[in-house]
Structure 1
Amino acid sequence: MSIFDRDKNSSILLAGILALVVGVGVARFVFTSLLPAMLVDSISIAFAGVLASINYLGYLAGSVFSIFIKDIHSKVKYFRLGLVLCVVSSFVLGITENNTVWIIARLLAGFGAAMALVVGSAVVMLKLQSTNKTKAMGIHFSGLGFSIVITDLLMRAVFYYGGDWKDAWLILAIMGALLSCYCVYILQFEKQPKDQVVKHKFDKSLFSPMVIILILAYFTEGVGMVVQATFLPDIVNSLEGLSGYGGYVWLAVGLAGIPSCIIWMRLAHRFGSINIMIVAMLLQIVGILIPTLSNNIVMNLISGLLFGATFIGLVALFMNFGGQQSSNNPVFIMGAITSAYGVGQIVAPLYCVALIKQFNTYDQALYLTAMIVACGILLLSYAKRNFKSTVTS
């Protein structure tokens, strides 16, 4: 069957998408789907913020670690380890409520997610037999949208049939284990003699002015992404008249995200990646501010759609553009920029929780987040005017 052909682009992309469902959906984003249920009877909003930051700390550690993985076979090995960590850490959340165990599990889940996203995406990019990798990687990163939709629908099915959030974690872990088997089978390379294995050394020269600006801008996007990625259902539920609608807005995030990568990457191929990043970040600011301006359900669904369409597209745009700055060793710059993204993701939940506790509303946290994303737009605009990149799309 062609689906099991390791060298077929369609199989490589399918495996990459499923790896994102495990690494990003099961290990990271389904936490957002399950958070309202967990807040009811298990954890406080403060501890939820801590768990989110710990998860992103693990993600940051994995991103930094990925920079130093030297050869392709090591990349594959750590990619597989990441999938295992994603599955096991999710299983643990379904069988215990010990706070210390949860913190360790979310830390390991974050590390595993980085291996699945950063290293896995580099493996996909290197394995693809394609002349236009920008469009192909757009298809791969659509897995970020699928990761939200598939895990959210599975969670809803568990609740529909009488299960609780603990059952949901267990079912998600089982699904993750099954999908991982396919990913491991497809995303591998033929063994080469040791003297033929290409090793990538740490190369400081890759940190061009363009890459440094990219790193700083992706930090601001990490902040912009994580506030809604962690709290969006609860933000919507907290608005007058919208209690219970948060889950639907989160589902809209995933649905908007599925086609967004392909659309944004096609636009980037035509108009240039930096131009399209700026447009996407402007739209993201609009989505961030909508809950502060309106408690209308349609407007907040639009907020969710804008968030899903932009943050998932921006991951694809930054990762692909960064990877192309070093076509021989894409994981190096992918890891470097994702490390900055990870720092933003750690900082944002903590300042959000502090502002929520002080003002008893999400508004101030959303205002500050929008301002930080605006700084990212200014950085990219500066880069566009002053630096030449190695690629134009």
Structure 2
Amino acid sequence: MTEQSKPLAPAAVAMIGLFALASAMGIGRFSLTPILPLMQRDAGLTMAQGGWLACANYLGYLAGALICIALTPRPAAATRWGLAAVGLFTLSMGVTESEIIWLASRFLAGVASALVLVGVSAWAMPILIRHGREEWSGRVFAGVGTGIAFAGLFGLAAGIDAWTSRATWIALGLLSAALAVGLWRPLASTTPAASSPAQQARRVLPGRTIIAAACYMAFGYGYIIPATFLPTLARGYVDDPATFGLIWPVFGAAGALSTFAAARLGRGLAPWQLWTRAQWVLAVGVLLPALRVNVATLLLSAICVGGTFMIITMAGIKEALRLGGAPASLAVGVMTSAFAIGQILGPLTVSLLAASRDGFAVASLMAVVAMVAGNCVLLACSARWERLARLEGRPNEA
């Protein structure tokens, strides 16, 4: 039986993509965030050590993005093997107390997560477009917020029920491994059409795409600080797991809902307009816990950051494609790599400033400045980019 003998319906493709991204991103990338307070409690992990583990994962994500640029793996294969690796390296976090193995596991889980993200995008999007269901891409990317919300609720339940961090890692690893097994055959059921040699040819990136990538890196740097440390901040403010454990599920739920809201609220806007407007809200969310830590600011931060990061992610990718001048795979790969660099710098900044009493606040303020600067650059360049797009006959929206 060939891979194309039983094509999937668009609804099935969207659902498979949702579950795949939920595992890869909710567990493979962001499960450390809700489990970090548990590791602090039973493994004595410090904020600085947590920052290094986060950096390892984001460095792996960068490596995975670069691998996808260099090797261009088949989308279904990248997704399947990436999901299997997410399960394996999540399990490995719970079967050892070695910090070296923890670092290696988070790094490799980051590599696997990037493979899944790129693979799902390249597998699901062409199928949905062929079926005239391009707007269903929001359903696919809702998997990111869904996975984050699930991992947060799982961490909340584990904290309330006094699970150890090792037991929590093992349970999530088994779940992600089960998803990898369940999605293995469906992912091979429909294969997108191969790109033409002309589409695969690599050209030099235009300056406008490089500028957009630099702004995208500022976004990655800004959002990842609260995305990594909000539950830990909450635990420092209140020791009740039923309270501090709510932060991450709220973050994830906002992310899942935002992808649907963006389709309505962003109608008629160019990608850069949606990007900059969402990033002002994100900057507020990053700033709030730097000014004062309490339940209100933590929840508002979770809503602002969680409710905008997927909108900016999708808008940034659309902007890179709209700018043109390079193959889609190269433009998206460069944007993803820039985003990953920003995510590495965020936890690294927190770790380096951890000895200072106001280290987190200083790192957050630096992130806000970076995002404001990125928005200013985008706003200053957008008019020129719009004129270039019209001259080159390209549409204003991807």
Indicate whether the TM-score tops 0.5. Answer: yes
Question: How far apart are residue 92 of structure 1 and its match?
Answer: 0.3
Question: How far apart are residue 159 of structure 1 and its match?
Answer: 4.3
Which residue of structure 2 lines up, in the alignment, with residue 148 of structure 1? 148
Question: How far apart are residue 141 of structure 1 and its match?
Answer: 1.2
Correspondence 1:315 to 2:313: yes
Q: CA contact under 8 A between 1:32 and 1:233: conserved in structure 2?
A: yes
Whole-angstrom distance in 2 between the partners of 1:35 and 1:386? 45
Correspondence 1:225 to 2:223: yes
Identity of aligned residues (%): 25
Correspondence 1:188 to 2:188: yes
What whole-Å deviation, never above 9, does each CA across 1:151-202 have from its counterpart, x for those lacking one?
A: 2223333444553211111111111122223433333365799xx8745535
Question: How far apart are residue 298 of structure 1 and its match?
Answer: 2.5
Correspondence 1:201 to 2:203: no
Q: CA contact under 8 A between 1:22 and 1:83: conserved in structure 2?
A: yes
Matched AA of 2:56: I
Which residue of structure 1 lines up, in the alignment, with residue 258 of structure 2? 260
Which residue of structure 2 lines up, in the alignment, with residue 98 of structure 1? 98
> Bigger CA drift: 148-157 or 305-314?
148-157
Correspondence 1:46 to 2:44: no
Question: How far apart are residue 7 of structure 1 and its match?
Answer: 2.4
Which residue of structure 1 lines up, in the alignment, with residue 269 of structure 2? 271
Instruction: Report the TM-score, using the length of structure 2 for normalisation.
Output: 0.88
What whole-Å deviation, never above 9, does each CA across 1:329-388 have from its counterpart, x for those lacking one?
A: 643322210100111111111111222312344211111110011121112112312113
> Bigger CA drift: 265-274 or 248-257?
265-274
Whole-angstrom distance in 2 between the partners of 1:192 and 1:172? 31
> Bigger CA drift: 357-366 or 52-61?
357-366
Q: CA contact under 8 A between 2:223 and 2:286: conserved in structure 1?
A: no
What secondary structure is seen at the aligned counterpart in 1 of 2:396? coil
Whole-angstrom distance in 1 between the partners of 2:381 and 2:92? 44
Whole-angstrom distance in 1 between the partners of 2:368 and 2:234? 17
Find the partner of 1:57 among 46, 56, 59.
59
Correspondence 1:24 to 2:25: yes
CA distance 1:161–1:192, shift in 2 (3 Å): closer
Instruction: Report the TM-score, using the length of structure 1 for normalisation.
Output: 0.89
Matched AA of 1:222: G
Which residue of structure 1 lines up, in the alignment, with residue 378 of structure 2? 380
Which residue of structure 2 lines up, in the alignment, with residue 109 of structure 1? 109
Which residue of structure 1 lines up, in the alignment, with residue 76 of structure 2? 76
Q: CA contact under 8 A between 1:324 and 1:330: conserved in structure 2?
A: no
Matched AA of 1:52: A
Matched AA of 1:387: W
Matched AA of 2:272: I
CA distance 1:350–1:105, shift in 2 (3 Å): same
Gaps of 5+ in 1: none
Whole-angstrom distance in 2 between the partners of 1:191 and 1:369? 40
Q: CA contact under 8 A between 1:142 and 1:259: conserved in structure 2?
A: yes
Q: CA contact under 8 A between 2:142 and 2:256: conserved in structure 1?
A: yes
Matched AA of 1:300: L
Question: How far apart are residue 32 of structure 1 and its match?
Answer: 0.1
Gaps of 5+ in 2: 1-5
Aligned residue pairs, count? 383
Whole-angstrom distance in 2 between the partners of 1:100 and 1:238? 26
> Bigger CA drift: 87-96 or 372-381?
372-381
Correspondence 1:66 to 2:68: yes
